[in-house]
Chain A
Amino acid sequence: MIALTHSLFAIDPLFDGGLLWTPLLILVIKVLVVFVIGLVTTMLMVWFERKAIAGMQNRIGPNKAGPFGLLQTLADGIKLFFKEDLLPERSDRLVFRLAPYLSFVPAFLAFAIIPLGGDYRNGNGGIVTWFGHQTRVQLADPPIGVLFALAISSIAVYGIMLAGWSSGSKYPLLGSVRASAQMVSYEAALGLSLAAVILVTGTLSTSGIVGSQSSLGSWNIVATGVIPFVIFLIAATAELNRPPFDLVEAEQELVGGFNTEYSSIRFSLFFLAEFMNTITMSAVIVTLFFGGPQPISIGNTTLDIPLVNNSLEGSIWLIAKVLVFLYIYIWFRASLPRFRYDQLMDLGWKFLIPASLGWFMLLAAQRLADNENWDQLIVMPLSIAVILVCFILMQLAFRASAKNRESEGASF
């Protein structure tokens, strides 16, 4: 019993004394709070996106329901609930019903490992005391940590893929085939840039990763040298199927993409999952590269919010940082045109994956030289030279294959 709870929540001190009533209650409260936060933030995110895009396009956006149109999403949700639920005749009934849940549940699960607050200052490790029990402000802190987020995002592919296939119609199928290829390809780049973070922090646990970023200089975006962050951001956008990588639901080509045949509450589950995933991914980016709930501090001076205690302040910092990324995603959508499919695949396989792998090798070489007391001035230029040679060879290979293809004519 104790062994099992330990393997699931290992790092959380909540279960140190076995499973008792109060920790169980705290756990239930945490689950409820995370679920409610998920739903409410999703609602606000939909409103925020519509309002921000409207602003960028010189429109007003939702302004009728509630103050500033805040309740517009709620109204849309209620409308969707009361619409007729259609089941296409040629659909595969079981899978058609299953698919929305396969994309909705992972969206919420991934949120469980994000540290949502807590005091990480002075080596506190984010531990807070609730009802006389020490715990962390996150639902679960499994030893595999960020790998859990990766695993969940790889499960999310199924929802979209099966939705398209089970609809029994051409356009959704095309949308879902595109989606699965895109998401599987970009997962590799996502994982490789994640590896750079894990290499620098030396731990997989999300609270450990946050704990290691105590000052601005040790935030992972600086510690890993910006490149993994850029690659992660691009790959995450592709993984989320958000513009400019929204080929999955390219309206001009595919009607509505994988969810064309869906209506009513099943459609709203996809919609919810999409926005929920955006929020979760922003939170993951903040956790991995920007110190999560850590305040901004340079050297010994910390930017402290007055009158708020340290553990609550963590949540405020997290929300502020996540909002920046949510805004960036909306910004992408408003300003970037959609990629062409072959450009998307070229970017993923020919640029992002080699670049993240090369950068990871460089970081590894640097750390190895550090551990073995080698001369950095020799090791670094040497590794850069090796990577450059690899890059040139790769470019030559691309050129040769492009030439071959041209001489043979298109093969598809």
Chain B
Amino acid sequence: MELVVFICAAAMVLAGALGVVLRSNPVHAALSLVLTLFGIAVMFVSQHAEFLAAVQVVVYAGAIVVLFLFVIMLLGVDRAENLETEPLGIQRPLAIILGLGFVALLITAILKGRDALNMRGDGINVASDGDHDANIRQIARSIFTNYVVAFEVTSVLLIVAVVGTVVLARKRKSDKDLIGVAP
């Protein structure tokens, strides 16, 4: 059963990932990304990480990709791109090199951590101990105790990004005068 679920979810993830890369229409690509995120959520459920699955759907599928789509629609870039002309000459060779490097990195990581993957961790057994909120409790405990500094630093990073975006997107009066737009 677990294998069947894994195969279905993995097929979803791979199909979505291929769709993101191969579809030339940005909206279709974004939808394929949603498929991938859903597949990952299913895998989280089958690994007893229900809370992560919910967060995956709420945050990634429900907010982030919606914002992607929002930008695509608002800026009207929802036309198929012309792939013949290359804005940057070395982009393609560079992408191939970086991609190969990333694959190599992944393979080494998997080979190095193979023992850890084979080992079954003593995770939370919801079925036996009867504590149905064990999942969320464990995540909360590790986020707010062991990794609290990393967590807070991440939130500061996000706020800095938001402030930066606002500053960049803001039009100043002096800019308008330069362009000569009538108020």
Contact = CB atoms under 8 A, between A and B. Distances in A.
Interface stretch (A20-28, A147-155, A363-371, A373-381): A147-155
Contacts of A8: 45
A142 B2 contact: no
A67 interface: no
- Which size bracket describes the interface of B in this complex? 35 or more
Interface string A142-164: 11100110110011011001100
Contacts, number: 110
A11 B70 contact: no
A95 B31 contact: yes
A1 interface: yes
Contacts of A84: none
A172 B44 CA distance: 36
Contact of B133 (A95, A143, A173, A409): A143
Contact of B62 (A11, A155, A173): A155
Given A148-B54, A154-B57, A184 B63 contact: yes
A382 interface: no
A143 B170 CA distance: 44
26 contacts: A6-B127, A7-B45, A7-B48, A10-B127, A92-B27, A142-B50, A144-B50, A147-B51, A150-B58, A151-B62, A154-B58, A162-B27, A165-B27, A165-B73, A165-B78, A177-B74, A180-B69, A181-B70, A184-B62, A184-B66, A191-B58, A202-B133, A408-B173, A409-B176, A409-B183, A411-B171
Interface of A: 1-4, 6-8, 10-11, 92, 94-95, 142-144, 147-148, 150-151, 154-155, 157-158, 161-162, 165, 173, 176-177, 180-181, 184, 187, 191, 202-205, 208, 407-409, 411
A203 B2 contact: no
Interface in B26-47: 27-28, 31, 34, 45-46
Interface of B: 1-2, 5, 25, 27-28, 31, 34, 45-46, 48, 50-51, 53-55, 57-58, 61-63, 66-67, 69-70, 73-74, 78, 126-127, 132-133, 135-136, 170-173, 176, 183
Contacts of B58: 147, 150-151, 154, 187, 191
A184 B62 CA distance: 8
Nearest to B57: A151
B156 to A, nearest CB: 17
Contacts of B51: 143-144, 147
B107 to A, nearest CB: 30
B127 A2 contact: yes
Contacts of A184: 62-63, 66-67, 70
A144 B58 CA distance: 12
A115 to B, nearest CB: 15
